[in-house]
Chain A
Amino acid sequence: MITRQTSLSKNIVHFCRFLRQKGFNVSAEEEILSLQALQFIDYTNNEVFHLALKASLCHTKSHLDEFDKLFHEYWKDLDKAVDAKTKEDQKNKTVFQQQASYKALSKWLHGDGNKETEETATCSIQESLLRKDFSTVPEDEVDELMQAIKSIAKKLAAKTNRRYEFSYKVDMPDLRKTLRKNLRRGGELLDIVHRRPKRNRIKLVLLCDVSRSMELYSAFLIQFMYAFQQVYRRMETFVFSTLLKRVTLLLKHKNFSEAMLQLSNENNGWSGGTRIGESLDTFVNEYGKKMIDSKTIVIILSDGWDTGNIDLIKNNMEFIHTKSKKLIWLNPLAGFEDYKPHVSAMKAALPFIDVFAPVHNVESLKKLGRWL
């Protein structure tokens, strides 16, 4: 790196820190890359300079979209300069004002990250302070429920596709691999390699409404999620009402009653009002892009009674719909005979739902297996 100690490189380092504050994933590697890139271009040309930084610092579409605005915001001072010469001077000036130092960079590298702002979710007014007792699920119903859920989960897990994978079980010989392996021994068939149908690794994402309007069903729903978690490994579980909370790990390491207790102790908007749109938005922004792909089935359990933003529901439902393999909405109310999705949230969500099904008893759960 030739330009290492010049003001320009310091300025770039500072710009990268600025980007980092705005949520960009810019590591020292990218900084080096952008500086290297500048060697090859005419960086006195603002346009070219902009494009080069853009090409070397962005890694995703969302970053690309934000970059122009941030770039102009940061280099605003430079744009004010009229001719190239003052531009150069001012460039230097800004550097000294901002005092971007390598010390600061290395400090950051060694873990002093407290300057970086971090947004935290705050509780809403609607959030209930009530503690909920989840142990009201009738004992005899629990067993029946578990059975149904387990058979559904098994069906899901056993779904196979046409590809094969290596297996230690003596079942189906794999001719090609067998020949290949035994060629090393001169062509005698000594070892036989086996194969089996490759498991279809469909992932599940569960989003459960646990708000007040779902109070009657919440215990039931948690049971549902819990059993799935035990049988099916690739699965993510979230609960929401006014806030969204990921409970995957909680359910993995705790048994049913412990998990219940902890959740109600934490009081994450448990049985408060519902804000489906905001919850979905949190899910999509924080987890959705990583978790949802074409092999993911997303299941939402909610009655659609909502006090939040309807547009958010629409947008996020559309996102999930296009990204996922299937979007299933389970609504306990849909079990009633005359039910029509009149609630505005439900109406907004409906166009993006692949399967809309009731989930009010074991029978309806069994039917759900068909859609998975």
Chain B
Amino acid sequence: MPPCLFLLIFDMPELKDIKRMLFEQGYITDDSVAMSVFLSLQLNKPLLIEGPAGVGKTEIAKVMANALQTDLIRLQCYEGLDATHALYEWNYQRQLLHLKMVEHNQQPVEEKEKTIFSDSFLMKRPLLQAITHHKKPVLLIDEIDRSDEEFESFLLEVLSDWQITVPEIGTIKATHIPQVILTSNRTRELSEALRRRCLYLYIDYPDFEKEWTIVKNKIPGIDTKLAEQITGFMQQLRIIKLEKTPGIAETLDWAAALSALHIDHLDKNIIEQTLGVVLKDWKDTRQVQLSLSELMEKTGVYPKL
């Protein structure tokens, strides 16, 4: 019996189960992450995850949905996102077409109105979708820091009441309260009120050991020495002040690329040719190219043979 089914029977997972679940889903992590995920499940509190880009914040929600064998509903925030985009919208065009079609029916007007304001004309946006889902979903509110402050306060209301009012239909109460995960890149400070409602987790760039394990796990065919060199190089790279510090995603891309090219060790040429996988800013690229020898020495990448 797979562990997840086991969990369904015995309701809430234990702390060690969470660790195992995360690991089995290919998410290598430390105890603080497991603890936060565990407590957020147990206490039924939203989990606010902050950290630099590319350290696997969004991934936690995906892994969680996978582990709980439920659906992931995602709300991507952006500047100008408003309630209609997050809650629901009526399908105006369809309503209009429907009215045209039944124009010559002898139905009373009330009847017609009832039809066009029914479920089939309602376009559910992520928040409404999440609270009307047939089973407890994981609701990922991604990059909440990009949305406006007004939306943040609106979200607070939904997160505390778990009901949404549609004037034409009435109040829709949550069938299941979703497991909420919010992520933020810290481009703006979130309000104290929102923080209060959530458990807080900060994920930083991984240390050498952790990153190395991730690379080994995610790219199975990779040469051990290459994995070591890549990780070492990336660790050094993050120490330099760059415009865009590369995350784990970049490390994995790079490792996958080099592995596909059947390369078993790094040298200056290869790094220069493939630097574009890791650095996405021309200033950074230039800076790294200039200090490449020094970087490689620090990493110990120079092939001794």
Name which residue of chain A comes closest to B32, CB basis: A51
Known contacts A47-B31, A293-B188; is-contact A180 B202 (Cβ 8 Å): no
Residues 59-100 (chain A) with a chain B CB within 8 angstroms: 59-61, 63-64
Pull 7 A–B residue pairs with CB atoms less than 8 Å apart, ordered by A: A25-B192, A33-B43, A55-B35, A59-B200, A186-B113, A293-B189, A323-B187
A64 touches B202 (CB 8 A): yes
Could you count the A-B residue pairs with CB atoms below 8 Å apart for me: how many are there? 79
Known contacts A293-B187, A293-B188; is-contact A55 B202 (Cβ 8 Å): no
Name which residue of chain A comes closest to B112, CB basis: A186
User: What is the minimal beta-carbon distance from A215 to any residue of chain B, in angstroms?
Assistant: 36
User: What is the minimal beta-carbon distance from A288 to any residue of chain B, in angstroms?
Assistant: 9
CA of A48 to CA of B32, assembled, Å: 9
User: What is the minimal beta-carbon distance from B4 to any residue of chain A, in angstroms?
Assistant: 20
- A-B CB proximity, top 3 nearest: A293-B188, A59-B195, A51-B35
Which of B's residues lie within 8 Å of A, judged by CB? 15, 31-32, 35-36, 38-39, 42-43, 45, 50, 80, 90, 92, 95-96, 99, 109, 113, 116, 186-189, 192, 195-196, 198-202
Which of A's residues lie within 8 Å of B, judged by CB? 25, 27, 29-30, 33, 36-37, 40-42, 47-48, 51-52, 54-56, 58-61, 63-64, 163, 176, 179-180, 183, 186-187, 198, 289-290, 293-294, 323
Residues of A within 8 A of B113 (CB): 186
CA of A295 to CA of B50, assembled, Å: 20
B195 touches A55 (CB 8 A): no
CA of A33 to CA of B195, assembled, Å: 13
Name which residue of chain A comes closest to B146, CB basis: A294
User: What is the minimal beta-carbon distance from A210 to any residue of chain B, in angstroms?
Assistant: 28
Which one, B80, B99, B199, contacts A56 given CB within 8 A?
Answer: B199
CA of A335 to CA of B101, assembled, Å: 72
Residues of B within 8 A of A61 (CB): 50, 186, 202
Known contacts A59-B200, A163-B80, A183-B116; is-contact A40 B38 (Cβ 8 Å): yes
- List 17 additional A-B contacts (Cβ < 8 Å) besides A33-B43, A48-B15: A33-B45, A47-B31, A51-B35, A52-B35, A52-B39, A55-B200, A59-B200, A60-B195, A64-B202, A163-B80, A179-B92, A183-B95, A183-B96, A183-B116, A289-B189, A323-B187, A323-B188
User: What is the minimal beta-carbon distance from A350 to any residue of chain B, in angstroms?
Assistant: 16
Residues of B within 8 A of A56 (CB): 39, 43, 199
User: What is the minimal beta-carbon distance from A204 to any residue of chain B, in angstroms?
Assistant: 16
Name which residue of chain B comes closest to A61, CB basis: B202
CA of A316 to CA of B36, assembled, Å: 32
Name which residue of chain B comes closest to A29, CB basis: B196
Known contacts A180-B90, A289-B189, A293-B189; is-contact A37 B42 (Cβ 8 Å): yes
CA of A217 to CA of B251, assembled, Å: 52
Which one, A29, A41, A198, A323, contacts B15 given CB within 8 A?
Answer: A41
CA of A176 to CA of B202, assembled, Å: 42
User: What is the minimal beta-carbon distance from B104 to any residue of chain A, in angstroms?
Assistant: 14
Residues of B within 8 A of A179 (CB): 92, 96
User: What is the minimal beta-carbon distance from A370 to any residue of chain B, in angstroms?
Assistant: 24
A58 touches B35 (CB 8 A): no
CA of A60 to CA of B99, assembled, Å: 52
B199 touches A187 (CB 8 A): no
Known contacts A55-B32, A176-B92, A186-B109; is-contact A64 B200 (Cβ 8 Å): yes
Residues of B within 8 A of A289 (CB): 189
CA of A350 to CA of B262, assembled, Å: 46
CA of A51 to CA of B42, assembled, Å: 15
User: What is the minimal beta-carbon distance from A150 to any residue of chain B, in angstroms?
Assistant: 28
Known contacts A37-B42, A60-B195, A61-B50; is-contact A51 B31 (Cβ 8 Å): yes
Which one, B43, B99, B189, contacts A36 given CB within 8 A?
Answer: B43
Which one, B36, B50, B95, contacts A55 given CB within 8 A?
Answer: B36
Name which residue of chain A comes closest to B12, CB basis: A40
CA of A187 to CA of B92, assembled, Å: 11
Which one, B32, B43, B45, B109, contacts A54 given CB within 8 A?
Answer: B32
Name which residue of chain B comes closest to A57, CB basis: B200
Which one, A40, A54, A323, contacts B42 given CB within 8 A?
Answer: A40
Name which residue of chain A comes closest to B95, CB basis: A183
Residues of B within 8 A of A198 (CB): 80
Which of B45, B99, B195, B200 is the most central at the interface, judged by chain A CB atoms within 10 Å of its CB?
Answer: B200
Residues of A within 8 A of B43 (CB): 33, 36-37, 40, 56
User: What is the minimal beta-carbon distance from B145 to any residue of chain A, in angstroms?
Assistant: 8
Which one, A27, A58, A176, A294, contacts B200 given CB within 8 A?
Answer: A58
CA of A29 to CA of B198, assembled, Å: 11
User: What is the minimal beta-carbon distance from B32 to any residue of chain A, in angstroms?
Assistant: 6
User: What is the minimal beta-carbon distance from B114 to any residue of chain A, in angstroms?
Assistant: 13
Name which residue of chain B comes closest to A33, CB basis: B43
Residues of A within 8 A of B192 (CB): 25, 59
B195 touches A187 (CB 8 A): no
A48 touches B35 (CB 8 A): yes
Residues of B within 8 A of A163 (CB): 80
Residues of B within 8 A of A323 (CB): 187-188
A55 touches B31 (CB 8 A): no
User: What is the minimal beta-carbon distance from B61 to any residue of chain A, in angstroms?
Assistant: 17
Residues of A within 8 A of B31 (CB): 47, 51
User: What is the minimal beta-carbon distance from B193 to any residue of chain A, in angstroms?
Assistant: 11
User: What is the minimal beta-carbon distance from A203 to any residue of chain B, in angstroms?
Assistant: 11
Residues of B within 8 A of A187 (CB): 96, 99
Known contacts A55-B35, A289-B189; is-contact A60 B42 (Cβ 8 Å): no
Residues of A within 8 A of B45 (CB): 33
Name which residue of chain B comes closest to A45, CB basis: B15
Residues of B within 8 A of A41 (CB): 15, 35, 38
User: What is the minimal beta-carbon distance from B48 to any residue of chain A, in angstroms?
Assistant: 8
User: What is the minimal beta-carbon distance from A298 to any residue of chain B, in angstroms?
Assistant: 14
Which one, B32, B38, B92, B189, contacts A183 given CB within 8 A?
Answer: B92
User: What is the minimal beta-carbon distance from B242 to any residue of chain A, in angstroms?
Assistant: 12
CA of A228 to CA of B20, assembled, Å: 58
Name which residue of chain B comes closest to A290, CB basis: B189
CA of A273 to CA of B106, assembled, Å: 86
Name which residue of chain B comes closest to A318, CB basis: B241
